[in-house]
Structure 1
Amino acid sequence: MALIDLARGLRAHPVRAPESGIARRKSLWERTHLDPWLLLMLLVLMAAGLAMLYSASGQRIEVVIAQGTRFLVAVVIMLVLAQLTPTTLLRWSPLIYGGAVLMLLAVELVGDVGMGAKRWLVIPGVVRFQPSELMKLAMPLMVAAWLSRRELPPRWYDLALCAVLIGVPVVMIARQPDLGTSLLVISAAVFVVLLAGLSWRFIGALAALAAAALPLLWMSLHSYQRQRVLTFLDPNSDPLGSGWNIIQSTTAIGSGGMWGKGWLQGTQSQLEFLPERHTDFIVAVLGEEFGLIGMLVILVLYLLIVTRGLWLAAGAHDTFGRLVGGSIILTFFIYVFVNVGMVSGILPVVGVPLPLVSYGGTSSVTLLAGFGILMSIHGHRRLLPR
């Protein structure tokens, strides 16, 4: 009887093992709603980006410091967004989208012009930023918020409103002009719609419609954008003009061979044959200095980030979280695919930076803010009612 009473007492008041150091670390991640593996991979990628930027910028430490400062601000924003619940993000989605559209309108009216394009807003003495980058987050949030409240798969009238939500800011961004960002914004929205469960028949119809609209798209392109497409088809048609960038980038990658020439030892980059080497074409610097092996290491790191991100998105509690999380990580993949593709000559040059490696402030903030939203969706899943 005494043994039975003891067993009953243990069941009523179980003996708890003392918390270990590992348990305490786990509780820290749970309290901050961060994913340690994703955070670690992002930090490694940013560190590699700073090392490559030092070489690509001509060993200018002030450029590295400026980028490092932007990374620090972006990480803080990521940590803050990770604390917001998905319910809060859902409620704020229309406000975020509306604010981003108003900022695009402000660019149209009083935007700052640089390199022949009006893409920036300037707060004197404070910051100069690109509002179109914010739309890469505002768009999937808004489309996901709308579709998550509708019956899925979405019906044609739901998709019609989505088309309006997508079309208005995309046209405004394309007028700046900024073809690369407009394509990424469209991609972010399209991923939400696809993840909402469209039938293959409907997807095929949309693909046919898009193919039929290509002549109209060609006619709407600026002359320099058309020239980029023609240069992609035949770079040697103008080797000293429009074909210079792609010829120099492929030459730099090819000259790196298997193991590369060594950090800071690239000739195409260090002798300034390679244009935009610290922004859009930084992967060519990577290929020249670290060779095929170095490029594969970075690509594997990107693959691990995408895989981890998809796993986090798949574990989301609700439809809104799955749609937003999936769109954010798939758009990140498109960033990598387009940049590497255009630098290696398999895609036209559209001005898309290499994520968290190329120099850029607004882009880095937007990307890490997206990862903060993804961590929020995963980290708060146990706190939401089933």
Structure 2
Amino acid sequence: MTMIPPGSVIGMLGAGQLGRMTALAAARLGYKVHVFAPEGMDSSCGQVVASHTQAGWHDRRALSRFADDVAVVTLEWENVPTETVEFLSRHVAVHPGAAVLAVAQERLAEKNFANGLGLGTAPFRAVDSVAALKQAVAELGVPAILKSNRMGYDGKGQVRIAADTDLAAAWAALGTDMAVLEGFVDFACEVSVIVARGHDGQMAAYPVVENRHKDGILDTSTVPANVSDDVAAEATRTALALTEALGVIGLLAVEMFVTRDGRVLVNEMAPRPHNSGHWTIEFAETSQFEQLVRAVCGLPLGSTRLRAPCVMTNLIGSDADNWPALVAEPGARLHLYGKGEAKAGRKMGHVTRPA
């Protein structure tokens, strides 16, 4: 592939904070970003980009105009309809492509893909009815977690199943026609690895990150993870294998469970920048956002070396109201996403500190 030179326009599908931070990284390298999303210009990403198209994902006239204005397209949200990506791909290169999204958008597809590569996951069953849920619970036991097959994130689209759970009520609460029941995993911690892959197949993995959640939402990411060298090597191998097998151009974030006996199990993957990689802005040689720009534009990948141990903390809802103290705190790196109302559970920003 011929490198896309600085001064070109990168198309961004999605208008959230991941797009915002990617646009800022692109600007530092001399690129402009044109965002396409149903949200308006006051979105987190829309506030910092050169151009903005507000339109629905299936508006082909708007998509055609968007494609004509950009040199390449990437995304900050993996749930963009695959039909949208397929349509754009007939006019301009889109990374990652629809085939990658088809796997990443569905939990069942993710787990089957990982298992097909010989990679472990939690035990699971497909569930499409109350009867199927009862059968799955009988096979996997309790406790277990019932998750929607599509669109679940930050603890949404999940119901915990215990011995006394009303299964019919749990199925109705999920409000879906396809779900996954995941069996219990006695894990010691959760980790993630972000891998970048270029057009030439070159890959670069960031250090293994240890993640802690609160109320189903990522709370902190600590680098390096407090795991053995063998576990770190297996987590990295797993993420590299998935990235290569999917043929990702751009980024793939892989979240994994580490069991108490040292096994690494794939939980979820996302072909985009990831919350657990925000620390890379200050504490890696190349941020995940710059790495995405490099990968999709055909530039050489940057170094993923960790500059110093660190901890990234999400600012959820009213946590962001503490910005005066955070901006005055020595060593703290504060990022606010330009969002309006600080709703409960809404990611308003993050702060990264030396560990």
Q: TM-score, normalised by structure 1?
A: 0.22
Question: Would you tell me which structure has more helix in proportion to its own residues?
Answer: 1
Please report the TM-score for the alignment, with normalisation by the length of structure 2. Answer: 0.24
